Amino acid sequence: MSDFDYDLFVIGAGSGGVRASRVAASHGARVAVAEEHRVGGTCVIRGCVPKKLLVYGAHFAEDIHDARKFGWDVPDCTFNWDVLRDNVLAEVDRLEGLYGQTLDSHKVTLFKTRATVVGPQKVRLADGKELTAERILIATGGWPHVPEFPGSDHAITSNEVFHLDALPKRIVIAGGGYIANEFAGIFNEFGSKVTIVNRGDTILRGYDEQIRDRLLQISMTKGIDFKFNAPFQSIEKQEDGTLTVHLENCEPIEAEAVLVAAGRVPNTKGLGLEEIGVALDEKGAVVVDATNQSSVPSLYAVGDVTNRIQLTPVAIREGQAFADSVFGGKPTLVDYANVPSAVFSHPPIGAVGMTEAEARNRLGSVRIYTSDFRAMKNVLAGRNERALYKMVVNEATDQVVGLHMIGPDAPEILQAAAVAVKAGLTKADFDATVALHPSMAEELVLMK
């Protein structure tokens, strides 16, 4: 028997931590997990799952309106935030239970408390109990970053937004990334007056310029207001409970809620990592090698806490690779090339591979193909909103090195198309594929 209490102790029961725990246990390891919040992590509890359910709810606003053009006698409808909020939270509770059952069925010991690292192979629980493990895995994810300024405590983050007591009539959203744009679309469809405030002049940095410009254009047409180059100065709470937001280069804005979506930082504060010699980068992320091992040989990290690619499926891949490599005798590395991503804005975005700018910088000579069209459903509904698909091709090899899409169901279409990009298929391969008509996806094989 081992001299340690456990073969593996995992801190954080999110997507990466749960996957690593159950896979390691299936390989015969004695595993324990500590989670100070709720099992399931950011994605299940306060991230992509409840957010996507709100996105579905928001889509009904346009669907109900458009249904009239398709012959449905739809009366004027009102939206009840309380009903959607409570149903979403109930679904989160159900999923949390399933994650707990997964750990239990694999005989993983769960400590529902905070744990910190007090030695290369020792952790301490919040009640003072100390446990030893041959290996420790940090899977504590990320946490919303809230810049400090007067009144910043009056703002909420993506952690609290799912629990709002009432739908705000006016909401200010700080940030230009995917979280800001997703919640802007959600609240706008629910009927709130939405203002996005960005300290810079660009939304969705890292996405293709044409695609993000199209989202900006459509968002403004839908009534979302944008304030660029407008850093926060302060937030004042008035006697009636409303908030006054003071910005640089801008008039004050009145709102019932302020949502700060200014990025996420690795959740390593107070874990005791630096005290035992674990190297952290300038943002506080655990520095790991290709095998997820830190500067302390017995300690590993996966997921957002490493700040490599902050996506749930990546954390899951990393957790699987760690467990298979260390406990399963199957050395596995995660391939970070051509990882697809989506923005569940209104309309949504899907992307994989290089943007046009990245391809020109890295490859030199490229060919660009686009399809700019109105979806058939939008035509009949009288909606002028246009989709845009963009293909980036390496001139020298004809290989498709990037696909970028904005339009209805873009993420669903992009997932399948990402297989082709990952496989290194060429523009000729796309051209040789017979179109599936009538569909939006057929535009991918019809670009000339």
Is 182 annotated to bind a ligand? Reply is yes
Is 394 annotated to bind a ligand? Reply is no
159 by Cβ neighbours in 10 Å (0-12 / 13-18 / 19+) ranks as middle
Residue 390 CB neighbour total at 10 angstroms = 23
In a 3-state reduction of DSSP, which class is residue 415?
helix
Is 104 annotated to bind a ligand? Reply is no
Q: How far apart are the first and last CA of the chain?
A: 66
Is 69 annotated to bind a ligand? Reply is no
Q: What is the per-residue DSSP string for 319-354?
A: HHHHHHHHHSS-------TT--EEE--SS-EEEEE-
Burial 27-39, CB ≥16 within 10 A → b, else e:
bebbbbbbbbbbb
145 is catalytic: no
Is 179 annotated to bind a ligand? Reply is yes
Is 389 annotated to bind a ligand? Reply is no
Is 213 annotated to bind a ligand? Reply is no
Pairing outcome for strands 299-301 and 170-174:
unpaired
In a 3-state reduction of DSSP, which class is residue 241?
coil
In a 3-state reduction of DSSP, which class is residue 434?
coil
Is 178 annotated to bind a ligand? Reply is yes
59, 106, 404, 437: which one is catalytic?
Answer: 437
Sequence-distant (≥ 6) Cβ neighbours of residue 354 within 8 angstroms: 362, 363, 392, 401, 402
In a 3-state reduction of DSSP, which class is residue 137?
strand
Residue 160 CB neighbour total at 10 angstroms = 13
Whole-number Å distance between alpha carbons of 275 and 269: 12
Contact 17, 139 (CB under 8 A): yes
299 by Cβ neighbours in 10 Å (0-12 / 13-18 / 19+) ranks as buried
Contact 217, 228 (CB under 8 A): no
Residue 2 CB neighbour total at 10 angstroms = 11
Is 177 annotated to bind a ligand? Reply is yes
325 by Cβ neighbours in 10 Å (0-12 / 13-18 / 19+) ranks as middle
Whole-number Å distance between alpha carbons of 372 and 214: 10
Indicate the annotated binding residues for NAD(+): 175-182, 263
Active site residues: 437
Residues flagged as binding site for FAD: 52, 304
Give binding residues as ranges: 52, 175-182, 263, 304
